[in-house]
Chains A and B, each alone.
Chain A
Amino acid sequence: MAAVTEILVLVDHAEGAVRKTTAELLTLARRLGEPSAVFVGSQVGAARDALKRYGAEKIYVLDDVALTDYLVAPKAEALTQLVEQTRPAAVLIPSSAEGKEIAGRLAIKVSSGLITDAVDIQAGEAGPLTTQSVFAGSHTVNARVTHGTPIITVKPNSVTPEEVDGGAAEEAFSVTTSDAAKTARIVERRPRAATGRPELTEAAIVVSGGRGTAGNFEPVEELADALGAAVGASRAAVDSGWYPHAYQVGQTGKTVSPQLYVAVGISGAIQHRAGMQTAKTIVAVNKDDEAPIFELVDFGVVGDLHAVLPKATQAVNARKS
């Protein structure tokens, strides 16, 4: 008789508010076995319902200040101890900067293969089979871990979260943190100001502005708000100081994979395409009819964004009312 196959899922949350990526990871974990959520922090009370709703059978609670006062290393140690105790069939971690670093250190610690930025995972006889989108979305790669416990980081928007009631049995897990892991101290933390818009990497719709905005993001933000979208920016716009770097889409910024991506005044250089090419539907507004972005679009408008966007925003609002 096959033993229960436990899959560890590292929970991504802000003060206990579970991010959408966690629901996605739990959904993927269910394909592979029984998901156990790993919650780091003191606010598990705020997270419990969401974790249960998306099928977490267990919740390991790791509540220790060392895990949040120092960068990455203590979390990797804690996960190592949890992996050694629970012997999971896989560990799923969100593909954030921190998530990938935790995964990297964990892979070395538990002598296991690591796959990053998966956009899909399927169960297989030889272990989970992952799908990745590489080279600016121009290639698709299927891979698997061949040694140790598969450690896989998963990109946001990879799967539609499915609600399945989980047991959500809570279990406190006490960790031992070495002095060696407590060497990079977080001396200050400033939460990013809320914009009232969806999180860029999680949003179903993203409206991004580029050089063509000439620094005026108002039309971009207004269309985004009419569509309930997140706002992004190209590197050119960020380098010009028009929009904060946290909103940059592209190779050196965020990778987004929304249902709809609206590129406004963005030419579509390869560095930008690397961050958005896997969007389901792509729409562009640009006054240059030879802009490479038009090679990608499902629908494009050659025209002045300062004329087209306000009219489009008005028309969207009119249809909604």
Chain B
Amino acid sequence: MKIVCCVKYVPDATADRRFNSDHTVDRAGVDGVLSELDEYAVEEALKIREAVDESEIVVVTMGPDIARAAILKSLQMGADSGVHVVDEAIHGSDAVGTSLVLAKVIEQQQADLVLCGMASTDGSMSVLPAMLAERLGLPQVTFASEVSLDGSTVRIRRDGDAATEMIEATAPLLLSVTDQANEPRYPSFKGIMAAKKKPVETVSLADLGIDAADVGLDAAWTRVEDAQSRPPRSAGTVVTDEDGTGADRLVEFLAGQKFI
């Protein structure tokens, strides 16, 4: 089974995230990492490879040169190879543009199974898996909190707001997993050493047969007019409960704000 796992390089959530002057996310000036939620997708791919003979995992990302770090981390965890789409023209692509590029890579790879995380930790739109399924005409089994495989049939548990659903589809298909699906492994020393020898192919838009005018900031179907940092919340009142009056003062505050 050929598994293509889509991953994203994002600014570290614990860093001071910010925007560039063109209102795109600053990915170069802020420490970046493999989006935490994509680790669950990589882990699920590894579990499936362990269960299904003759499987291989190709990790795909797009983004500037430094985005290669997201592929490297996935290879250290155990994925087999990587494809990195690098092209100046993709800067500023929205989800529509991103899905166009990734769908082309997946087509070229002839994937049996496409794996994604539930959302990125920067844009956190969580629409890319659905867009990929739409573009590729694949069954969409997404937001899986539990995955089981029976031959080419995939069955997942999806915990929705109102109900828990069990969903079934047959490969080839697109699967996205939540942080409930598994426990991502840490790269071992052996894994880190092995990753250095694993192949990572760099491809351009031209290699994918995509017109540069169809992606990037100017081709995006949405435009950010304005991005501002919010003023930090002004410091409130903090009391200690040493004298046992904490609860009463808390309730007084709530009553004063008309919450009671």
Contact = CB atoms under 8 A, between A and B. Distances in A.
Interface of A: 14, 71-73, 76, 96-98, 100-105, 107-109, 111-117, 129, 133-148, 180, 183-192, 199, 201, 205, 227, 245-246, 251-252, 259-260, 270-271, 274, 281-283, 285, 289, 294-304, 307-309, 311-312, 314-316, 319-320
Interface string B230-260: 1011011111111010111111011101011
B186 interface: no
Interface of B: 13-14, 17-19, 23, 37, 94-96, 99, 118, 121-131, 133-135, 137-143, 145, 155, 158-170, 173, 178-180, 220-230, 232-233, 235-242, 244, 246-251, 253-255, 257, 259-260
Contacts of B129: 101
B95 A147 contact: no
A79 to B, nearest CB: 12
A148 B242 CA distance: 60
25 contacts: A71-B140, A71-B141, A100-B127, A101-B130, A108-B135, A109-B134, A113-B220, A116-B127, A140-B230, A142-B224, A143-B222, A143-B224, A180-B137, A185-B169, A189-B165, A191-B163, A245-B145, A252-B118, A260-B257, A282-B233, A283-B253, A285-B246, A295-B232, A299-B253, A302-B241
Given A281-B259, A300-B237, 11 more contacts: A71-B140, A100-B130, A117-B125, A139-B18, A139-B228, A144-B225, A183-B138, A186-B167, A302-B238, A307-B247, A311-B248
Contact of B238 (A143, A191, A300): A300
A97 B143 contact: yes
Given A71-B167, A316-B260, A140 B227 contact: yes
Contacts, number: 263
A299 B227 contact: no
Nearest to B179: A252
Nearest to A286: B238
Contacts of A205: 259
Most chain-A Cβ atoms within 10 A of its Cβ — which of B118, B166, B170, B173?
Answer: B166
Contacts of A135: 17, 122
B13 A271 contact: yes
Contacts of B155: 187
B140 A73 contact: yes
Contacts of B168: 184-185, 187
Given A71-B142, A109-B134, A251-B121, A146 B238 contact: no
A104 B131 contact: yes
B222 A260 contact: no
Contact of B133 (A97, A105, A185, A245): A105
Contacts of A309: 247
**Chain B contact residues: over half helix, strand or loop, or mixed?**
mixed
Contacts of B95: 104, 107, 114
Nearest to B37: A252
Most chain-B Cβ atoms within 10 A of its Cβ — which of A115, A184, A311?
Answer: A184
A107 B162 contact: no
Contacts of B226: 141-142
Nearest to B239: A301
Nearest to A310: B247
A111 B222 CA distance: 12
Contact of B127 (A104, A141, A304): A104
A187 B13 contact: no
B260 to A, nearest CB: 5
Closest 3 CB pairs of A and B: A303-B241, A113-B221, A104-B127
Contacts of A137: 230
A300 B161 contact: no
Contact of A104 (B130, B169, B246): B130
A187 B167 contact: yes
A135 to B, nearest CB: 5
A314 B248 CA distance: 10
B250 A299 contact: yes
A298 B220 contact: no
A296 B234 CA distance: 8
B136 to A, nearest CB: 11
A185 B167 contact: yes
B221 A147 contact: yes
A192 B251 contact: no
A187 B155 CA distance: 9
Contacts of A184: 139-141, 167-169, 173
Contact of A192 (B162, B167, B247): B162
A140 B235 CA distance: 20
